[in-house]
Structures are given as structure tokens and as C-alpha cells.
Structure 1
Amino acid sequence: MTAAPTRVVVTGASGNVGSGVLRALAAQLPDVEVVGVCRRPPTEGAIYERVRWHAVDLSAPDAAARLAPAMQGADAVIHLALAVRPVRDEEYLYRANVLGSQAVLTAMASAGIDQLVYASSLGIYAAGATAPVREDWPDTGQATSIYSRHKVVVERILDQFELEHPEIAVARFRPTVVVQREAAWLIRSLYLGPFIPRTLLELMRDRRLPVLPLPAGLGLQFVHADDVGDAVIRLLTQRAEGSFNVAADALDTREVAALVGARPVELNPGLVRRMVSALSGARVVAVTPGWYDVATNTPLMDTSKARDELGWEPTRSSTSSALELLDGLAEGATGLSAATGRDDKSATVIRERVQRAHDVSLLLWGATAFARALGVRHAWAPQAVAAATNLAAGTPMALERVRERRRDPVALIAPVAVMAAVGTSLRGGWAPVAATAVLQLLNASERRRAAVT
């Protein structure tokens, strides 16, 4: 072990991986001064108290200049910063992740810092492996994924940076999916979205899901944020260079389904991807086809190099880490920073949008039912679209009433009224007009109830 640094800059210190790194620094290097860089520094939380914060937006054109005060006097940089949202805004993500990484390298070189630990990703590996891959597997990534493409670009930037600065020790760790309870908000926002009800997540957490559809041949690895933090400390204190895979054991489809007590139902991977693409395009799920490809096509990783050269091994299995995450998802857990969901205003915005979609689609359902009853030609098509939209927006609210075990008139009558509205809409006439009118009355009653409570 070499001499420990005295001052370390951690970009993205308020994020999911950052929390594990900060805990490891506090436990293993308590005397090191930690300088944190993020857009919105946390204002509370024990792990953030010893951090000297600098608010810097890495997507800004002058990010390198803004980083200069943070870099002053530091011995090493741990570059964890990563923007993943908005998932479809490639221009912003490129500025934040690619140009932002270049800004970090420029600032640290100007400050004379001679050690970098960079958070790369499993997403840089090409598909096609039949066994866990070592660090020399082709790192051309997944072409369909914005995240993967940008990670590959940063790896190439690092290659050039090492050639130009041989005096700087550069270590790259490539983690699989990094999880902990506090990662629930991030995982939900990336993969699930607002239409996946909490009730379903609770069923999964409680191992009461009978079957779980999965793409055939799926293999997943997880790693706990604290194990990642330990790996980073080892890279830092050993002044390691090169690339290192960081992951726990692999889970197959049977083991993934067993996490939720279910029997796996293996589906054609191509069919699953087409379903994901359709649902993502309709914004029913948050996961994009690119993120799906990273999760399902990326090879499993061999971690023997980290074990042999760093003495690192995970203290938690993929199963235990996944179960901790699942509990956080079921409970709606967040971290103590904006990057991990603290005071997340987007959840309120999403609920309001879902409620608005429900209200508007219900009005359109009633209006198109009325037009159809009057004999307006082709009214059935917009009626079907309005009904489907209303059912999609109303399902999370209905499941929430079930979870709360409500026995008020709305909770008892609404399911019957919905079935009546759907059934009568198939036949037409004036019955669906009456049924949607009842739904309007129930919706108004529910809104009054929400206003009171």
C-alpha cells in the first residue's frame, strides 16, 4: 500500500455510487479531506458532513474553469459524475458526460493532480460473449444505447489522456449495476416509471408473485454501493492503473425469479425487446430500448483481476444486494441528496400528469360515447383510445386504493363502474354514456376526498 492522499476530489459525490465511496472514505481514510463536486450539494446527512462542497454543472461550457477551485491542492480525483436523465436527451447527456469528463481531465491536469480513479461501466463491453469476460474483452459497447456510446467515447478520451500524461496514474473501474436501498429512486426512474404501481413492487418484495416473465438466457450481476466504495479505496491507496471489473456473483433466470418467489417464464428476447420498445414509446415504462440492451446484452464480468491485484472481493452477494434494492423500491426509498431522490419534485409532477391524463381521457371517453350514441360515424376509434388511456392512468390509483384497503363508496363502486363502462362501450348505445357519467361522479368525489386529506 502506498501513502494515502491528503485531499481527494470526488465528482458526483452526492449520487448512488458516491454515497458508497463517501462511506468507504470515512471508514478507511478518516483523515483525508474530501472535496465534493455536484450540481446540487446536499444540505443534510451524516455522510456529507465532512465534505467540502463545490456546486459545478459539468455540462456548462466553462466547467473546467469552474472546477479549478475544487482541484486546488488535491492529490487525487475520483470521477463518478454521471447524468442519466433525461434519458432521451442525447445532446445534454453528451455535454454532461463526455464534455464534462473532458473538463475534469483538463482541470486536474492544470492543477497538477497525478492520480485519477474513473467510474466506467459494464456498458462499455460488446455483446456476444458466452462466458464472463475479463478486462480485455472488446469495449465497443452497445450501439443502441446513448449511455453505452458515451461511456465508450470517454474510455477513448482516457486512452489519449494517458498517452499525453504518463505521469498520471489512471485507474478505471467497471461496475455492474450498483445497488443499495437508497438506489430505489434512481432504478425506478430509469427502468420502471410512474405507471408501475407500488402494490406490484410490494408483492415482489413479499415474494408473492406467482410467475415472472423474463427474456430467455438472461444473466444479471449486481454489486452493492459499499463494495464499490471499498474497491475505489483500494484503487486509490494502491495507486492502481488499468481497468478492473467490479461485480458480485451472476444470477440466471431461475435465480432472478426466485428473488420475488416466482416461477420464471422465459420469453423470446426479440419479442421482449419489441414489447419494451412499444411500451417505452408510449411512455408506459421508463426503460428505453438502449437501457434494455445494456441490461440484457452486456456480458457477465469476470472479477478475478480485482481479486488478485487489489485483494478485493464483494462482501454481499447479488441476491442480498438485489433484495435490499427491492425493499427500497417497495417502500419508495430515497437517499439524502437530490441525486438520489431527496425532495424530488418530479414525483409530484408525474402524479399530477397522470391525474390530468386520467381526467382528460375520462371526459373524452364520455364525449365520444355520446357522439357514438348520436350516430356519429367512426366515433368508436377515438372512444377506444380514450378508454385505454383512462384505464392505464387509473390503474395505479385503483391499486393504491386496494393497498390501503379502503371500503368507502368510491373504492367499492369504481371497479364495478369501470367494468360496466368497458363492457357497454363495446356495444355502443346510451349505456356507456351513463356508465362514464357515473365514473365522472366518482372521480369528482375522489378529488374532493384528496383535497380534504
Structure 2
Amino acid sequence: MSKPHDNSLPRTIPAASLLTPGQLTVVVTGASGNVGAGVLRALARHLPDAAVVGVCRRPPIEGGIYERVRWHAVDLSSPNATAELQPAMRAADVVIHLALAVQPLRDEDYLYRANVLGTRAVLNAMTDAGIKQLVYASSLGIYAPGATEPVSESWPDTGQATSTYSRHKVVVERMLDQFELKHPEVAVARFRPTVVVQREAAWLIRSLYLGPFVPRALLKVLRRRVVPLLPLPAGIGLQFVHADDVGDAVMRLMRLRARGSYNVAADVLDTPDVAALVGARPIEVNPRVVRTVVSILSWARLVALTPGWYDVATNTPLMDTSKARHDLGWAPSKSSTESAMELLNGLADGAVGASAATGSMSNPQSSFRTVAQRVHDTSLLLWSAAALSRALGLRRGGASDALVVAANLAAGTPMALDRVRERRRDPVALLAPVAVAAAVASSLRGGWGAVAATAVLHVLNAFERGRPDS
């Protein structure tokens, strides 16, 4: 069974060797994301007088934790990212680099530009601004598989070869090695968290692991703890950590001007512990069989989880957090069970955060897109109903059908333009224009061809709606 977190360790940072707050300016890249929320809350608690500069692609417009942040909209995948970062870095004391792109899952070129080249841009902008401290969000995914016990920070950090995310994290670790050799005056700390969760992470976790075809009704059933049996990969071990505990660790790293790497995780959940989250009895399944099933479902786009992400979740070693506990006086305030239950409740409730990166649709552009999507979905249903009624001989086509098709095409135009602008080459982007043209042509004639064509549009629409905004 899982062990409660250790409350006997010190929960305050010693006064010696602290970064002197003064009029401190802290730059947080990826401040609108899941980890960023925990860091911003920690900054508000521990350094309420610090000036906080947030860097992300889509700055939030909501208040709350984002209210005191001075935002800079920067796309780290841009070739001009270094120059665009310079105003944000000006006169800063510390950079907390959290920015991470995980979507689109299968666009490795974009992910490399955003995560690897984007980190290089951050380091270059830091150097130009003369900033002497960096706290970087690494990951459990940098550790090589093969351990039988929780590993320390000295375990080989060659990652998971099957995971794009892991490979890119490893490249950045090597980049930081070189940066430290070239700039020994800069204090570089790397924290390596396990899966970071909170209620507001539900949208991201659902997008990354579940996808559009896992209904919330199933998640609600799991929350009710009425599932008797739960198939799980044999020998699974999971660790979670709450975003607020990560924020606390980041504050300690920053204020102590720490150097080196630190594992950040709560206690380990074994197979019975994971099943107990939903009140079930575990059924252990051969991990290779599970991976094969995941690969098939991922290939068919029925789940968002890719084989690479499955490998990171199941093959990555568990982490020993002794160093963070000893050197930083850090201990998680929430156990893995508590954090996982908060996430499960968020998933069942369809929770979102207050930023676009955590699922909010509150900014004007997102609101427009939401209305357009609703019009598109409604008109597509009406289009299908009209095609079916004509095929059954219940009615003839008329002006109302033309209006429904026109409304659908107009509402779908913004999404189509986005696909062109992003130069997407995924199945939806390639098939959608052909499918729309076929549906329009067949609808002019009527019959069962129009029914089939609109059914294809529904399938493509489901995949598109399940693809998170990158």
C-alpha cells in the first residue's frame, strides 16, 4: 500500500545562502501551463513582492494567479524566438524555464523546434541579458529503463528511445551540460518531476492520454468506485506529484541558488494501489500485450496515448527523492493517492484551467472558435439528418438543405484555414477537403452516397475535435 508523505522533514527554507528577494524579477516561461500554475501560486505565497514576467504563446486574460504577471507572447518554436525573448528577459534575476509543447503528438519537427530549439533560444536570451540563475523543468522521462528500485539523480539519463518527448528532454539535458561548462557563473538547477497533476490538469491529461473516444461517463463510473476489476500492466509502479508541491520545490531551488538535478515525486503506487483508486481488484496483464493494444488503438486514433508515451509511463524507473528532501528540505504535502484522486475528480467533471494551455476557451479568439465549432457540429448533424431522410424517401431536397450545407462550410472554414496555415499532413488534414467535396457532390444527387459521405465527415470531425490545440 502507499505510504503517507513524511511530515517530519523541515518545511521552511533556511535563511543562509538564500537569494536575496529585494526587488526580484522572475521570468517564468510556460507560466500559463499546468506546472506554471503551481509555480505562480508558490511565487505569490513566498515572494509576493517579486515582479513576475510570464512567457507563453497565448497569455491568459483571466485574473486570479495570472493577475500580477506581466505577460509577453512569444512562440519558442519561432526562428526569431531569441530576439522576441529579449524584452521579457531585460533586468531579470532568475529564469524558471517550464515551457513545454506536447501537442501535436505526432509532429516531431514542431516539437523539436518548440522544446529543443526553444530552450536554446531561452539560454541565448539569458546570456544576452546577463541573467545568472536558471531553474529548468526536466522530467522523469530522461531516465533509462532497467532499474528495479527507485533511482537517484545519478541513474543514466539516456531516456526512452521510442519517445519523442524523452529524446528531446535528453537533448536539452546535454545542452544544459554544455551551457554550464561555458557559463560556470550561472547557477543551473534542474528538477525532474514525475507526472504533475492537479484538478486543472484534467484537460491536458485527457488530451495527452485518453482522447475524444473515452467518454466522461466512464470516468464518472470509475470515480464512483463501482468497477469490480481493473486490467493493468503487470508490475506497474506509478508516482504522482501535485503542482503545488512542484511549485514549492522550485521556490527552494531558486531561493537556495541550487545547482544540479533533483527528483521531485511523491510516494509509489503499486498495482493494488492503482486499482484501489477506483475501488477495483487488479488483473495483471502482460505489459507487451498492453503495449500492442495501445499501439493499435493509437494507430487508429481511438486513444491519444502513443506507444512512446506508454513507454515513458511504464518503463521509466521510479524516482528516489532523498536528495531533494535532504538538500532542499522538501517533502510533498500530498501523497500520490491524494493527487491522483484530485485528477480523477477533475477528469470526471471535465475540469479546465483558466488559461488556453489548460483548456480555457475564455479569450476572444477561442470564444469565436467555440461558436464556430458549435455551428459546424450542429449543421453537420442537420446535414446528415437531411441526407438520411432523402435516402429513405421521406422528403426531397430543397433550399433548407442548401442553407444547412452552406452554414457547415462557413463554420468549418476557420478550421480548414488553420490546417493550411499549420501545414498539417495528418490524416484529417489530408482527407477533410476530399471528404467535404464528396459530401457536397453526393448531396446534390441524394441517395445513400450522401449518407455515407456525411458519416465520414462525422468521423473526421470527431478526430479533429479530439486533437488538442497545439
Same fold (TM over 0.5): yes
Aligned to 2:50: 32
Cα gap change, 1:115 to 1:275, in 2 (>3 Å): same
Aligned partner of 1:110 among 128, 147, 154: 128
Tell me, yes or no, if the aligned pair for 2:29 and 2:96 is still in contact at 8 Å.
yes
Cα gap change, 1:263 to 1:362, in 2 (>3 Å): farther
- 2:165 partner amino acid: Y
Aligned partner of 1:130 among 148, 169, 178: 148
Cα gap change, 1:292 to 1:324, in 2 (>3 Å): same
Aligned to 2:429: none
1:40-61 deviation line (CA, Å, top 9, x unaligned): 0000131001100000000000
Matches of 1:355 and 1:216 in 2, distance apart? 46
Cα gap change, 1:355 to 1:301, in 2 (>3 Å): farther
- Report how far residue 122 of structure 1 moved: 0.2
Aligned to 2:19: 3
Matches of 1:129 and 1:179 in 2, distance apart? 24
Aligned to 1:235: 253
Aligned to 1:22: 40
Aligned to 1:275: 293
Matches of 1:326 and 1:159 in 2, distance apart? 37
Tell me, yes or no, if the aligned pair for 1:211 and 1:263 is still in contact at 8 Å.
yes
Tell me, yes or no, if the aligned pair for 1:35 and 1:53 is still in contact at 8 Å.
yes
Q: After the TM superposition, which residues 244-263 of structure 1 pair with which residues of structure 2 at under 5 Å, given as runs?
A: 244-263=262-281
- Report how far residue 357 of structure 1 moved: 10
Matches of 2:329 and 2:210 in 1, distance apart? 36
- 1:282 partner amino acid: A
Tell me, yes or no, if the aligned pair for 2:19 and 2:257 is still in contact at 8 Å.
no
- 1:132 partner amino acid: P
Aligned to 1:78: 96
Tell me, yes or no, if the aligned pair for 1:194 and 1:351 is still in contact at 8 Å.
no
- Report how far residue 3 of structure 1 moved: 2.9
- Report how far residue 352 of structure 1 moved: 6.6
Unmatched tracts of structure 1, length 5 or more: 368-432, 444-453
SS in 2 for 1:171: strand
Tell me, yes or no, if the aligned pair for 1:177 and 1:221 is still in contact at 8 Å.
yes
- 2:234 partner amino acid: A
Aligned to 1:303: 321
Tell me, yes or no, if the aligned pair for 1:68 and 1:111 is still in contact at 8 Å.
yes
Cα gap change, 1:354 to 1:178, in 2 (>3 Å): farther
Cα gap change, 1:218 to 1:353, in 2 (>3 Å): farther
SS in 1 for 2:101: coil
Aligned to 1:428: none
Tell me, yes or no, if the aligned pair for 2:93 and 2:133 is still in contact at 8 Å.
yes
Structure with bigger RCO (C-alpha 8 Å, 6+ apart): 2
Cα gap change, 1:277 to 1:359, in 2 (>3 Å): farther
Cα gap change, 1:60 to 1:214, in 2 (>3 Å): same
Aligned to 2:216: 198
Percent identity for Structure 1 against Structure 2: 72
Unmatched tracts of structure 2, length 5 or more: 1-16, 392-447, 459-470
Q: After the TM superposition, which residues 43-442 of structure 1 pair with which residues of structure 2 at under 5 Å, given as runs?
A: 43-343=61-361
Matches of 2:383 and 2:211 in 1, distance apart? 20
Worse-superposed segment, 354-363 or 324-333: 354-363
Worse-superposed segment, 354-363 or 166-175: 354-363
Matches of 1:215 and 1:145 in 2, distance apart? 19
Cα gap change, 1:297 to 1:96, in 2 (>3 Å): same
SS in 2 for 1:77: strand
- Report how far residue 209 of structure 1 moved: 1.5
- 2:90 partner amino acid: Q
TM-score by length of 2: 0.75
SS in 2 for 1:93: helix
Matches of 1:272 and 1:361 in 2, distance apart? 39
Query: Once superposed, which parts of structure 1, at least 4 consecutive aligned residues long, lie more than 4 Å away?
Result: 344-364
Tell me, yes or no, if the aligned pair for 2:86 and 2:125 is still in contact at 8 Å.
yes
Aligned to 2:441: none
SS in 2 for 1:138: coil
SS in 2 for 1:208: coil
- Report how far residue 210 of structure 1 moved: 1.5
Matches of 1:127 and 1:353 in 2, distance apart? 44
- Report how far residue 350 of structure 1 moved: 10
Aligned to 2:467: none
Aligned to 2:397: none
SS in 1 for 2:235: coil
1:72-113 deviation line (CA, Å, top 9, x unaligned): 000010000000000000000000000000000000011000
- 2:20 partner amino acid: A
- Report the number of matched residues: 372
